[in-house]
Structure 1
Amino acid sequence: MLLQTVTPITVLGTTVLFALFLSVTAHLAARNVLGDVDPRRALYIGPLPAVTAIVGVTYALPEALIVFVALLLDAAMFAWSYDQPRRLVVGMTVIHAVITTLLAVVLFSVSLLFATMPG
Structure 2
Amino acid sequence: MLLQTVTPVSVLGTTVLLALFLSVTAHVAARNVLGTVDPRRALYIGPLPAVISVAGNALDAPGGLIVLAALLVDGTMFWWSYGQPRRAVAAMTLIHAVVTTLLGMVLFFVSILLASMPG
Q: Could you tell me the TM-score, scaled by structure 2's length?
A: 0.98
Q: What stretches of structure 1 of length at least 5 have no aligned partner?
A: none
Aligned twin of 1:94: 94
Asked if 1:50 is matched to 2:46, the reply is no
Q: Deviations over 1:43-100 (max 9, x none)?
A: 0000000000001000110000000000000000000000000000000000000000
Asked if 1:5 is matched to 2:8, the reply is no
Instruction: Could you list the structure 1 runs, at least 4 aligned residues long, displaced by more than 4 angstroms after superposition.
Output: none
What amino acid does structure 2 have at the position aligned with 1:43?
L
Aligned residues: 119
Q: Could you tell me the TM-score, scaled by structure 1's length?
A: 0.98
What amino acid does structure 2 have at the position aligned with 1:89?
V
Asked if 1:26 is matched to 2:22, the reply is no
Aligned twin of 1:83: 83
Work out the CA distance in 2 between the residues paired with 1:39 and 1:68. Answer: 25
* Cα offset, 1:4, TM superposition: 2.4
Aligned twin of 1:115: 115
% identical equivalent positions? 71
Two-structure CA RMSD over aligned residues (Å):
0.8
Work out the CA distance in 2 between the residues paired with 1:52 and 1:4. Answer: 22
Work out the CA distance in 1 between the residues paired with 2:65 and 2:6. Answer: 24
Q: Deviations over 1:15-48 (max 9, x none)?
A: 0000000000000000000000000000000000
What amino acid does structure 2 have at the position aligned with 1:118?
P
Q: What stretches of structure 2 of length at least 5 have no aligned partner?
A: none
> Secondary structure at 1:44's aligned position in 2?
coil
